[in-house]
Amino acid sequence: MIFIAARFRVLVEHADAFPEITRSFTEATRAEPGNLWFDWSRSLDDPQEFVLLEAFEDDAADAHVQSGHFKQAQAELPPYLEETPRILNTVLEGSGWHELAELAVRR
C-alpha cells in the first residue's frame, strides 16, 4: 500500500472551518477505487495544524493525483494555508492497520 502523511498549517482565520472547506475533496477521495483511508486530525497542541493520513492500494494514488477533485483542491486549498504542506510518502507492505502489541488491551 502507498501510505501518505501530510501536515497542513491553516491560516488562523480559516482553521475552524477547514474540515468543512475540505469536505467535498475528502468525500470524493474516500469514494475513489483503491482508497483505503483518508483521515484528517487536528493537532491538540496547535489548532492551526491538521494532519492527513491517507492510504491507497498500490498504484491507486497515481489515479488520485490525476483526478478532477485533486486538481480542484490544488487550485482551491492554498489560499486557506499559511505555508506549503509537508508530506511523507512511502510504500508499506499490507493493506491496513496492525495492532500495537505494546499497548494490547486485555479484558
The residues spanned by each domain of the chain are 2-103
Angle CA(10)–CA(60)–CA(92) in degrees, nearest 5? 80
Question: Tell me: domain 2-103, CATH 3.30.70.100, correct?
Answer: yes
Q: Is the pTM of this model over 0.95?
A: no
Looking at residues 28-33, what average pLDDT do you find?
96
Q: How far from 102 is each of 60, 92, 97, CA to CA, in Å?
A: 32, 21, 15
Q: What is the pLDDT of residues 40-53, one digit of tens each?
A: 999 999 999 999 99
88, 4 in Cβ contact below 8 A? yes
Grid coordinates representing 12 are 488562523
Q: What is the pLDDT of residues 38-92, one digit of tens each?
A: 999 999 999 999 999 999 998 888 889 999 999 999 999 999 999 999 999 999 9
Nearest to 33 by CA among 54, 61, 5: 61
pLDDT confidence of 103, banded at 50, 70, 90? very high
